[in-house]
Amino acid sequence: MRMDGYVYVDKTELVYRLANMNTTYFLSRPRRFGKSLLVSTLEAYIQGKKELFEGLAMERLEKEWKVYPVLHIKLMGQYVETEVKSAIDRSDIVVKLQDAIYVFEFKMDGTAAEALAQINIKGYAIPYQADHRRVVKVGVNFDRAARTVGEWIIEAEERSK
């Protein structure tokens, strides 16, 4: 956008403050009001893409440019919870659909099998056993070197109707 002659208002200082404050935010804006640009700016910052911020406030503010994995999930109209508490610990993500509940656990440079084992050992799916929906457990490994999902394992519990 900046290179093609469009007007660009530098809000990267706000993005920097948003990303570096230790609090939770709910980002709500009307349709066609810049949510996608904000999210992609946050994603580029968190992925350490310093070259995209040349000449902007972010270049001056950020000194370390660490790279973190980004999981970008678009589930419009679906119920998604993160860091869901259980009796023992917290599962990373729970997605509730009309016919299924997905329980996700992610491991950085671990294995998908380790992530799935954690779901089972710590009982992350237990709260959903009484639900009529099928429970699907998903163990996921992030590959730090490739900066993407390395592998995943799915274990689904079938429900009788």
| pTM for this model (two decimals) | 0.61
Flag whether 67 is in a domain.
Answer: no
For residue 135, the domain's CATH number is 3.40.1350
pLDDT per residue as tens digits for the range 43-73 = 889 888 999 999 999 999 999 888 776 666 6
Query: Do residues 94 and 134 share a domain?
Result: yes
- CA–CA dist 127, 131 (Å, integer): 8
* Total number of domains in the chain: 2
Query: Do residues 87 and 134 share a domain?
Result: yes
Burial (CB < 10 A; 0-12, 13-18, 19+), residue 139, is buried
For residue 93, the enclosing domain spans 79-157
